[in-house]
């Protein structure tokens, strides 16, 4: 019997490509969705064993006119406009909210699992990462569109008869980020800076925070893929879930680990840019209790384990001091 099709949006992106590859490796038939007018994105879809690929604009048009009828077995919605500095509300709401809801409603009407990427950015400056309104204080337009989608999906939970799951990704890192530019993870950008220049620039402190002591919950992309696959196979899955390691690590800790791996490098502290000040999270840490209650028991990679999986064996055993 032919296996059902699985739709992966954002399939040329970081998480989407990794997820599409994992599905193909399991024998699934994958249809990729992305901006096919972009030659670089088309290139990143090669070698994934896809059944087909659709342009995102074509899919949006077919959904809007009721002309999308592929026999799907699941939807993994990873695509979004993810620029946290974007000031184009029309584009962000069109891509991150309206298109996402059209795809969600299509899946719900056909009782197809719908698992989508939300973001820890929805918590903003709350300092608490519980999934309740008082802990959701987004600091930028991108995060507000993600939160708007989460709110709309919450309203659909009572009537959902198939898996309907939003995954709030924390700081995802891993192999395959080279194409992301300034939107790459802190891990990727820090490693690149140290490799290319020998100097890692971290943000200075302020408001009671020491230099370089901003903290992130770094989660490896393989863990993110595993959580996606887990929920798509749970027929009663409904909810929003944090996806992180459950442990925050400071930028200084990350610097020390990378410098130790490379055997060289130093840190300098720079002021937070004015365009970021006031819209920058200084602390993130996933609350994994809901995820564990849902039955996901697999341990997450530590930062040390994730760095080894991402960059391979250390280049040297010695380390220079962080200055």
**For residue 186, which of 253, 274, 139 has the smallest C-alpha distance?**
253
- DSSP 3-state of 171: strand
Assign residue 206 a region: left if phi > 0, alpha if psi is -120 to 50, beta otherwise?
A: left
Phi, psi values for residue 304, rounded to 5°: -60, -45
Q: Do the strands 164-169 and 114-119 form a parallel or antiparallel pair, or are they unpaired?
A: parallel
Catalytic-labelled residue, pool 180, 269, 280, 296? 180
d(CA 124, CA 242): 14
- DSSP 3-state of 252: helix
Catalytic-labelled residue, pool 41, 116, 123, 142? 142
Answer yes or no: 269 catalytic. Answer: no
Task: Return the number of other C-beta atoms located less than 10 Å from residue 18's C-beta.
Answer: 23
d(CA 249, CA 267): 16
- Can you read off the two tokens belonging to residue 128? 């608490």
d(CA 292, CA 116): 18
Answer yes or no: 146 catalytic. Answer: no
Task: Return the number of other C-beta atoms located less than 10 Å from residue 277's C-beta.
Answer: 11
Token pair 């890692």 is found at: 200
Residues 6 or more apart whose Cβ sits within 8 Å of residue 251: 186, 190, 202, 203, 212, 213, 214, 215, 216
Q: Annotated catalytic sites, by residue?
A: 142, 180
């Amino acid at each position: 019997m032919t296996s059902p099709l699985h739709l992966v949006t954002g399939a040329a992106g970081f998480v989407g490509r990794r997820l599409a590859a994992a599905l193909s490796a399991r024998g699934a038939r994958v249809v990729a969705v992305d901006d096919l007018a972009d030659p670089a994105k088309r290139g990143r879809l090669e070698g994934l064993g896809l059944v087909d690929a659709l342009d995102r604009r074509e899919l949006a048009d077919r959904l809007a006119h009721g002309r999308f009828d592929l026999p799907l077995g699941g939807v993994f919605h990873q695509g979004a406009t993810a620029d946290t500095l974007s000031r184009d509300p029309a584009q962000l709401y069109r891509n991150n909210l309206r298109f996402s809801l059209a795809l969600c409603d299509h899946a719900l009407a056909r009782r197809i699992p719908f698992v989508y990427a939300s973001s820890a950015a929805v918590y903003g400056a709350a300092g608490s990462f519980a999934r309740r309104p008082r802990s959701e204080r987004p600091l930028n337009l991108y995060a507000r569109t993600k939160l708007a989608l989460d709110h709309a999906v919450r309203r659909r939970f009572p009537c959902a008869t198939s898996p309907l799951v939003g995954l709030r990704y924390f700081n995802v890192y891993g192999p395959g980020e080279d194409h992301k530019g300034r939107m790459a993870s802190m891990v990727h950008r820090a490693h690149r800076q140290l490799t290319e220049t020998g100097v890692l620039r971290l943000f200075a402190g302020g408001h009671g925070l020491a230099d370089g002591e901003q903290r992130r919950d770094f989660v490896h992309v393989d863990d993110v893929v595993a959580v996606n696959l887990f929920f798509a196979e749970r027929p009663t899955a409904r909810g929003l879930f944090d996806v992180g390691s459950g442990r925050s690590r400071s930028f200084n800790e990350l610097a020390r680990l990378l410098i130790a791996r490379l055997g060289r490098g130093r840190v300098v502290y720079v002021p937070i840019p004015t365009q970021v000040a006031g819209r920058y999270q200084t602390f993130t840490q996933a609350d994994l209790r809901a995820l564990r209650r849902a039955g996901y028991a697999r341990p997450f990679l530590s930062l040390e384990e994730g760095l080894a999986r991402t960059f391979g064996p250390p280049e040297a055993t010695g380390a220079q001091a962080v200055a």
